[in-house]
Amino acid sequence: MTPPDGPTGQTEETLTDSETIRVLGARRSIRDFADRDVTDEQVTAILEAARRAPTSGNLQAYSVIVVRDPETKAKLAKIAGGQKHIETCPVYLAFVADLTRIETAFQRNGRDLDDNNLEMGLMASIDASLVGMAAYVAADSLGIQGVMIGAMRNDPEAVAEVLGLAQRTYVVFGLCLGYPAGQPKQKPRMPAEGVIHYERYDAAKAVGIVSPYNAQLKAHYDDINKPTDDDSWSADVDKKYAERPRDHLRAALKGRGFDFR
């Protein structure tokens, strides 16, 4: 039967508003967790939804590892530079770029993936990332929140060892999940006018928002009593990334069977 407000069930209000938009709009990283478990059924529901994420050429070049074991989480936390939330979250998900199944397709004709390239590695990494973000949003819609952990790339070999990864796989990032112990203030985002462009890229607008954002981010950090410089974002980025970050990564991933060339 056609609903009273039209065939799609949309009213004026729901044309621009939805549960998903509200969930995304309220999102923030959570690093402190309540003493409340996330059930296996919940993890399954989250991952079943996430597995519907789009995937390059239907390659589905990813795997997910669900980690609950405290010892495993402690090892991963250490690799991540001692990030305690990896240990304190009830469930940790590792999103893996995975070329193994593609290689089996190639092997049918006597080929292997020794000659894989940047595009192959990117497709797998993007697939893993899209599933990861979808899982994040699906979890959030159940009130389960957390934080992504890129520090898995600090030492891909050590992570592979801990998780028993096969050759031609690596963990792109992890995701701590649990019920939040509280809601930290949302970190402001750069103004939309420099990030969203219409029809053509506007270089002046893209960089023009940095200075006002520095002031906005400094006000946020002042508000939560976190020390920062006057040019907050610029100073952070300059400090953190002036030295090439994770410069051994290319070699480490080559060792895992990703050429990225």
Ligand X SMILES: Cc1cc2nc3c(=O)[nH]c(=O)nc-3n(C[C@H](O)[C@H](O)[C@H](O)COP(=O)(O)O)c2cc1C
Residues forming the site for ligand X (CB under 6 A): 28-29, 31, 80, 83, 147-151, 173, 187
First-to-last alpha carbon distance for the chain, in angstroms, is 55
The contacts of residue 1 (CB under 8 Å, 6+ apart) are none
CB of 98 to ligand X, least distance (A): 17
Q: With CA atoms as reference, report the closest residue to 190 among 213, 211, 208.
A: 213
Q: Which is nearer to ligand X, 203 or 215 (CB)?
A: 215
CB of 181 to ligand X, least distance (A): 15
- Residue 57 CB coordination number (10 Å): 9
CB of 176 to ligand X, least distance (A): 8
What does each C-alpha distance from 110 to 26, 52, 94, 103, 225 come to in angstroms?
50, 31, 31, 10, 61
Q: Which is nearer to ligand X, 132 or 257 (CB)?
A: 132
CB of 210 to ligand X, least distance (A): 16
Q: Which is nearer to ligand X, 3 or 245 (CB)?
A: 245
Half-sphere exposure of 56 (CA within 13 A, CB side): 18
Q: Which is nearer to ligand X, 3 or 150 (CB)?
A: 150
Q: Which is nearer to ligand X, 28 or 52 (CB)?
A: 28
The contacts of residue 219 (CB under 8 Å, 6+ apart) are none
Strands 145-149 and 91-98: unpaired
CB of 249 to ligand X, least distance (A): 14
Q: Which is nearer to ligand X, 173 or 258 (CB)?
A: 173
Q: With CA atoms as reference, report the closest residue to 56 among 117, 11, 119, 141.
A: 119
CB of 11 to ligand X, least distance (A): 30
Q: Which is nearer to ligand X, 102 or 163 (CB)?
A: 163
Closest residue to ligand X, judged by C-beta, is 150
How many angstroms separate the CA atoms of 98 and 101, rounded? 7
CB of 186 to ligand X, least distance (A): 6
The contacts of residue 108 (CB under 8 Å, 6+ apart) are none
